[in-house]
Amino acid sequence: MPHYYMFHKPFGCVTARRDDRYPTVMDYFKELHNDRLSPVGRLDRETTGLLLITDDGPLAHELLSPKKHVDKTYYAKVSGKVTEEDRQAFAEGLDIGDDKPTLPAELTILETTEKEPGIFESRIRITICEGRFHQIKRMFEKVGKTVVYLKRLSMGSLELDPALPKGSARLLTQKEKAALGIADAETQKGK
């Protein structure tokens, strides 16, 4: 029977099974002695937040398939004043140097503060439906701003449990599994 874990990825570890330089997210699962567990998708070393860890390959493929365009929502702190023009540019898609522009992204400006005269920091929420390399950071660089903090809040229907501490994991609830389309083994027996 497959296993499904919600993991709150901390800063400083890489989303990989093994790495010679940095700790990996899978180091947090060593005591389970399950070599089939893998992270679904990637968060870079500096990004925190929601990761699904599972040994269900078909589900991982379903969530990661570029054809599916699964929404992923992030919270970020951005150096600079994020504007309505930036929001519109994200909604139209940006050329970040890949073969084609990004698909439209939903950018919400939560708050902008002036740290020092003329020095701004913005807090935003962004939803993308792709998973390109450093995509959000590259999108903000395109509009002349720098992401200084990035945290994934959700992936598809799965939302990060706010009570789950960084570096901790828990099994998905029945409700979370059902929202992802995962049938419970007990439910399947009754069919």
Contact 48, 151 (CB under 8 A): yes
Residues contacting residue 76 through CB under 8 Å, at least 6 positions apart: 123, 124, 125, 126, 136, 140, 147, 149, 150, 151
108 burial level (CB within 10 Å; 0-12, 13-18, 19+): middle
Do you know the residue count of the chain?
Answer: 191
Angle among Cα 174, 66, 13 to the nearest 5 degrees reads: 65
Q: Is 44 a catalytic residue?
A: yes
167/108 Cα distance (integer angstroms): 27
191/83 Cα distance (integer angstroms): 53
Token pair of 8, please? Answer: 């709150």
Q: Which of 19, 44, 161, 184 is catalytic?
A: 44
- HSE value, Cβ hemisphere, 13 Å, CA-based, for 112: 11
Beta bridge partners of 109: 124
Residue positions annotated with a catalytic role = 44
